Amino acid sequence: MTVRFVPPPYPYDRLDEARRAASRLPGGVIDLSVGTPTDPPPAGVLAALADADRGGAARGYPPSVGTLELRSAIQHWVKDRLGAAVPLDDIGACVGTKELVAGVPQWLKLRSPGRDTVLHPALAYPTYAMGATLAGLRAVAVPSDERGRVDLSAVDPADAERALLLWVNTPGNPAGGLDDLAAAAEWGTRHGVPVFSDECYAEFTWDGPARTILGQGTGAGGLGGVVAVHSLSKTANVAGMRVGWYCGDPDLVGYLREVRKHAGLMVAGPVQRAAVAALGDTAHVDVQRRRYRERLERAAAILSAAGVVAPLPDGGFYLWVTVPGGDEWAWTAEMAERAGVLVSPGSFYGPSGSGRARLAMVAPLERLEVMARRLGVGE
Ligand SMILES: Cc1ncc(COP(=O)(O)O)c(C=O)c1O
């Protein structure tokens, strides 16, 4: 019997009813569901976009791997912000990281057909599992704790043997935990499994410096067996530009760069130029860090006053809360109706997320004060 693939409902589409309820409140919805930045990007990014065709950037096909200028800017950023050294040939651009996360399994499977499993944290960004599904592979959840940190000692040896790759995500979405990336790299080496480390929230690490898997792998420069994945979406508030990158293991990155050329995956030329401007502006990141920190602290205080357990994360810009009553869908509806606040039910991030909800700190403080008043806990 042929099994036809039917895509499941897209998670955020399932919030339509809650959104309608929230919109009915005077003053409208306070959308804390999707982690989409709403603050402005660095001025230099907008200037580079406005000047889109300089050097012919808008005319010819852009290089799929990224222009030399972009890869040099990435190389410099990685050294400056993460303290890791990566050769220019071991860096590739992607059209935002979601397409890379969703696509890597189908490309890796072509050269390792004997491996049919994608390992991912049990509590995680859903695209890790979806990438396996879209490639016709098994997605196997690695047990993770309440902050989403993986317990690699719990991986079944039979699953490790079948694994095409392991995803880790630090700081983690949704629960804001920080993994031991050296231990993850070591596990990958021991089992012969490439480790892909999604580090798109690295600049928003609250407990110590930003962590990376780069330098923790084998061989020269510690790049063997590891690939780091980074995005400008959150770092520079340019999710709409669609630009990120992957870098690390020369063999894996080299293979992905070639496959992606054939697939026609290219970051638009003007966007590549704007990305260079974004990578050069670290002062902007400091401002954004302060914004997220302030919002996290204020929202946690508001929710605690309203009787919700809302611990601060070790990284990222999400509050991962325990919902009163234990039913995340009921609480999602209640927050929409009572406070006009749209949250993400925890089960979007795996079965272990039930009884929890995620709130993205993408709304300004004024809107959080509106939430406080509606919850009856404003000053
Ligand atoms: C953990 C994680 N990885 C990757 C992404 C994708 O980001 P983008 O496609 O904008 O680079 C997101 C977006 O929310 C995310 O939370």
Instruction: Check residue 120 and give its pLDDT.
Output: 98
Relative to the CA of 124, which ligand 1 atom is closest?
A: 1
Residues in Cβ contact with 157 at an 8 Å cutoff, skipping those fewer than 6 apart: none
CATH of 60-280, one of 3.40.640.10, 3.30.1330.30, 3.40.50.720, 3.40.50.2300: 3.40.640.10
Three-class SS of residue 231?
Answer: strand
Atom of ligand 1 nearest to the CA of 169: 1
For the chain, the distance separating the N- and C-terminal CA atoms, rounded to the nearest angstrom, is 63
Q: Of the candidates 89, 99, 120, 25, which has an alpha carbon nearest to the alpha carbon of residue 265? A: 99
- Cβ of 125 below 6 Å from ligand 1: yes
Q: Give the residue, out of 95, 104, 125, 179, with the most ligand 1 atoms within 8 A of its beta carbon, to mutate for a pocket test.
A: 125
How is residue 366 written in tokens?
């004024």
CA-to-CA separations, 105 to 122, 178, 185, in angstroms, rounded? 18, 24, 18
**Pairing assessment for the beta strands 318-322 and 91-94 based on DSSP bridges:** unpaired
CB atoms closer than 10 angstroms to residue 220 = 10
DSSP letter at 84 equals: -
pLDDT value at position 56? 81
Residues 6+ apart with CB under 8 A from 46: 274
Indicate if ligand 1 lies below 6 Å from the C-beta of 235: no
DSSP class per residue in 162-181: HEEEEEEESS-TTT-----H
**Furthest-apart CA pair in the chain: how many Å?**
63
For ligand 1, whether the C-beta of 200 sits within 6 Å is yes
The CB of 96 under 6 Å from ligand 1? The reply is yes
At residue 366, the pLDDT reads 97
Question: Class assignment of domain 11-41+283-375?
Answer: alpha beta
Model's pTM, two decimal places? 0.97
**How do the domains of the chain map onto residue ranges?**
11-41+283-375, 60-280
Measured over the CA atoms of residue 266, residue 268, residue 271 and residue 276, the dihedral's sign is positive
Is 148 near ligand 1, meaning CB less than 6 Å away?
no
Cα(299) to centroid(ligand 1), Å: 22
Cβ 35 under 6 angstroms from ligand 1: yes
Each of the 379 residues of the chain gets a pLDDT tens digit; together they read 677 899 999 999 999 999 999 999 999 999 999 999 999 999 999 999 999 888 787 899 999 999 999 999 999 999 999 999 999 999 999 999 999 999 999 999 999 999 999 999 999 999 999 999 999 999 999 999 999 999 999 999 999 999 999 999 999 999 999 999 999 999 999 999 999 999 999 999 999 999 999 999 999 899 999 999 999 999 999 999 999 999 999 999 999 999 999 999 999 999 999 999 999 999 999 999 999 999 999 999 999 999 999 999 999 999 999 999 999 999 999 999 999 999 999 999 999 999 999 999 999 999 999 999 999 997 6
pLDDT at 280: 95
Number of Cβ atoms within 10 Å of the Cβ of 254: 14
Number of neighbours of residue 326 by Cβ within 10 angstroms:
11
- Positive or negative, the CA dihedral 33, 39, 42, 46 is positive
Q: Does ligand 1 come within 6 angstroms of the Cβ of 231?
A: yes
